[in-house]
A = this chain, B = another copy of it.
Amino acid sequence: MKLVVINPNSTQSMTDKIIASARAVAGHGIEIEGRTAHGAPASIEGHFDEVMCAAHLLREVREAETAGADAIVVACFDDPAIGACREIATGPVLGICEAGIKAASMIATSFSIVTTLPRSVPIIEALVREYGLAHLCRRVRSAEIPVLALEEHGSNTRRLVRDEIRRAVEEDGCEAVVLGCAGMSDLTEWLSRETGVPVIDGVTVATKFAEALVGSGLGTSKFGAYATPNRK
Contact = CB atoms under 8 A, between A and B. Distances in A.
Interface of A: 25, 27-29, 41-43, 45-52, 54-55, 58, 81, 83-84, 86-88, 92, 94, 98, 102-103, 105-110, 117-119, 121-123, 126, 129-136, 146, 148, 169, 173-176, 189, 192, 197-198, 200-201, 204-205, 208-209, 211-213, 215-221, 223-227, 229-230, 232
A131 to B, nearest CB: 7
Given A27-B28, A106-B94, A205-B212, A46 B225 contact: yes
B108 A216 contact: no
- Choose among A84, A88, A98 the residue with the greatest number of B CB atoms under 10 Å from its CB: A84
B51 A81 contact: yes
Number of copies of chain A assembled together: 6
A35 to B, nearest CB: 17
A121 B102 CA distance: 21
